[in-house]
Amino acid sequence: MQSSLEIYTAKWIIPVTSEIIENGAVVVFNNKILDVGKKKEILSVYHGKITSFDDAIICPGLINAHCHIELSYLKGRISASNKFSEWLKEVISKKELPDRALISFNMKLMKKKGICAVIDIGNDPFWLTLASLSEINPQKPNINYFIHLNEIIDPKGRLANAIPFIPELNTDLNEYEKDFTIGITPHAPYTVHPETFKAIKKISTGNTISSVHLAESGGENELFLNGTGDLVELLELRGHWPLSYLPANCSTTKYLDKLSFFDANTLCVHCIHVSDTDIQILKNNNVSIVVCPRSNMLLSGKIADIDNILKNQINISIGTDSLASNDKLSIFAEMSSLSSNFPEIDPEIILYMATMGGAKAMKLSDKIGSIEKGKDNCIFAFYPGLKIDKAHEAVEYLVKNGENQLDMTKNTCLIWLHEY
C-alpha cells in the first residue's frame, strides 16, 4: 500500500474518459489518483517520488465482465464445435470439482494480462473460488475487485421458495474479503423457471447485479417460439423436458421482459441472436451487454451486432467466458478479436468497452475504468516495444497488438503502478 505521494510519468497516458495525454503524469497518494495531466504542469505543482516509464503507455486496468474461472480444468479438453448444444453436452459430461490450484494460477495470470476486476459465474461450491482468491495473498488480493455470482439452474422451479434465504449467507461471506462480492444469478431462460427468475430479481436490491446468458445460440429463440430445436434434446437428457412455460411464443428477450427481469443492474451476456425489437427492449431497460468475442466465434461463428448495439447507446463490456470455449483469459485478446471482426469500430471505443464499459456493468465506475481524480490506482504501464508518435496509434497498438506483445515478452511488458 502506497502511503507517500507518487508521480508516474510516461510518453502516453490514456485516461479513457478524456483526451489522450502526450508526455503526461499521474499523481497517486494512498493508492488513489490525486491528479493527471501534462508532465510539466504536474511537476510544477506536486513534489514526490518520480517514476518514469519513458516510452510506455499508461492505461486503466481492464475488466473481465464474464468469466467461469471454475472451468479452468477444461482448457484443451473440449472439442471445437459450432453447434452450441453439442458443446454444452460435452462440458456437462466432463464436469468435475474445480481445481483450486488452477483457479489461483489463472487469477494471477489475468492480473499479469492487465485485468483488475472480474465478474465470475459458477455453479460449483463458491467457497472454492473464495479460498483460491484469498490464499494468493490475503493482505493484497491479486484481483482488485471480484464479483462471484453463484449460478442457479432450476428449470422446474424447485428452488424458488429457497431464494429469499440466500442473502444472509452472502452477508457473512462478504465480511471475509472486502473487495470480494458474492451473489446469485440465473443461468439462462431455458434453465431457470419463471418463478425462480422473479425470486432472484426480488432479492437483487440496490447495486446488486444480475447476469444472464441471453440469446447465445439460435436454438434459444426456436425453443421459446416453437418448443422445438436442439436444446429440447439437451433438456430431455437432463430430465428437464417438457417445461410448463414453453413454448412462450416469443423471443427469449421478450420473455424475460415480460418477467420484469431487466433493469439497469442486469448484465445480458452474449446477445448474439437478438432482433431489432429485442435490442429496443434491452435499450429501454438500460441493461449492459457483455460480449465474449473469441468464445462466440468458436461456438457460433459470429458475435453480437456491435454496430447496432452502439447505435442504440447500450453499454457494452467485454468478457472472456471460460477456458472451455477459449484458450486464454485475456481481455487484450478479446479486444484484438473485436477489432478484427469489426474494423470499422474506432479502437478507442473498443478500449472503452474493456475499461469503463466493464466498470459501469460492475457498478464500480466511481472506482475503476478510467484515470481520473479520486479513482483507485488500478492502472498499468505498457511497453509497446516500438516508438509511437501519435495519440491514436497508442490506443490502436494496445487494442490490436497488446496481446502479441504480452506473449512475446511473457507478460513482462505490463507493470502495475501499485506494485512497482
pLDDT tens-digit profile of 276-312?
Answer: 999 999 999 999 999 999 999 999 899 999 999 999 9
How confident is the model at residue 126, as a pLDDT? 57
How confident is the model at residue 167, as a pLDDT? 55
Q: Answer yes or no: is 30 within a domain.
A: yes
How confident is the model at residue 319, as a pLDDT? 98
Closest CA to 338 of 353, 328, 358: 353
How confident is the model at residue 207, as a pLDDT? 76
Average pLDDT over residues 172-189: 71
344, 361, 378 - which closes a domain: 361
How confident is the model at residue 124, as a pLDDT? 72
Average pLDDT over residues 12-23: 98
Same domain, 164 and 240: yes
Average pLDDT over residues 203-212: 85
Is the per-residue pLDDT at 168 higher than 50? no
331, 361, 391 - which closes a domain: 361
The rounded distance, in Å, linking the Cα atoms of 270 and 213 is: 7
How confident is the model at residue 134, as a pLDDT? 56
CA distances from 6 to 97, 290, 375, 377 (A): 44, 35, 15, 11
Q: Answer yes or no: is 240 within a domain.
A: yes
pLDDT cut 70: percent of the chain above it: 92
Judged by average pLDDT, the poorest of 174-188, 221-235, 251-265 is 174-188
Same domain, 17 and 101: no
Same domain, 235 and 245: yes
Q: For residue 133, name the pLDDT band (cuts at 50, 70, 90).
A: low
Same domain, 137 and 23: no
Q: For residue 137, name the pLDDT band (cuts at 50, 70, 90).
A: very low
Residue in the structure block whose three cell numbers are 491514436: 392
- Number of domains present in the structure of the chain: 2
Same domain, 33 and 161: no
Judged by average pLDDT, the poorest of 63-77, 129-143, 360-374 is 129-143
Q: What is the pLDDT of residues 335-344, one digit of tens each?
A: 999 999 999 9
Bridge pairing between strands 115-122 and 145-152: parallel
Q: Answer yes or no: is 1 within a domain.
A: no
Is the per-residue pLDDT at 139 higher than 50? no
Same domain, 81 and 191: yes
Q: For residue 114, name the pLDDT band (cuts at 50, 70, 90).
A: very high
Rounded to 10 degrees, the C-alpha dihedral 381/383/384/388 comes to 80
Q: What is the pLDDT of residues 46-97, one digit of tens each?
A: 999 999 999 999 999 999 999 999 999 999 998 877 788 889 999 999 988 8
CA distances from 83 to 80, 170, 211, 270, 315 (A): 9, 36, 23, 15, 28
Same domain, 34 and 73: no
Average pLDDT over residues 385-392: 94
Judged by average pLDDT, the poorest of 80-94, 237-251, 396-410 is 80-94
How confident is the model at residue 322, as a pLDDT? 96
Is the per-residue pLDDT at 128 higher than 80? no
Q: Answer yes or no: is 225 within a domain.
A: yes
Same domain, 339 and 283: yes
User: Half-sphere exposure (CA, 13 Å, Cβ side) for 294?
Assistant: 22
Q: For residue 131, name the pLDDT band (cuts at 50, 70, 90).
A: low
Contact present, 189 and 212 (Cβ < 8 Å)? yes
CATH of the domain at 388: 2.30.40.10
* SS3 label, residue 415: strand
Q: For residue 132, name the pLDDT band (cuts at 50, 70, 90).
A: low
Q: For residue 169, name the pLDDT band (cuts at 50, 70, 90).
A: very low
Same domain, 53 and 101: no
What range does the domain containing 17 cover?
Answer: 6-60+370-419
Same domain, 281 and 379: no
Mean of the per-residue pLDDT values of the chain:
91
Closest CA to 375 of 31, 133, 96, 78: 31
Q: Report the run of H or E that residue 50 belongs to, with start and end.
A: strand 49-52
How confident is the model at residue 63, as a pLDDT? 98
Grid coordinates representing 98 are 474445480
How confident is the model at residue 140, as a pLDDT? 46
Bridge pairing between strands 266-270 and 210-214: parallel
For 215-314, strand residue ranges (E) read: 266-270, 288-291
Q: What residues have CB less than 8 Å from 377, skipping those under 6 apart?
A: 2, 28, 31, 32, 33, 417, 418
329, 361, 393 - which closes a domain: 361
Global pTM?
A: 0.94
The rounded distance, in Å, linking the Cα atoms of 229 and 86 is: 12
Same domain, 105 and 161: yes
pLDDT cut 90: percent of the chain above it: 77
Per the DSSP assignment, residues forming a β-bridge with 415 are 381
CATH of the domain at 227: 3.20.20.140
Say which DSSP state 61 is in.
Answer: P
Same domain, 237 and 292: yes
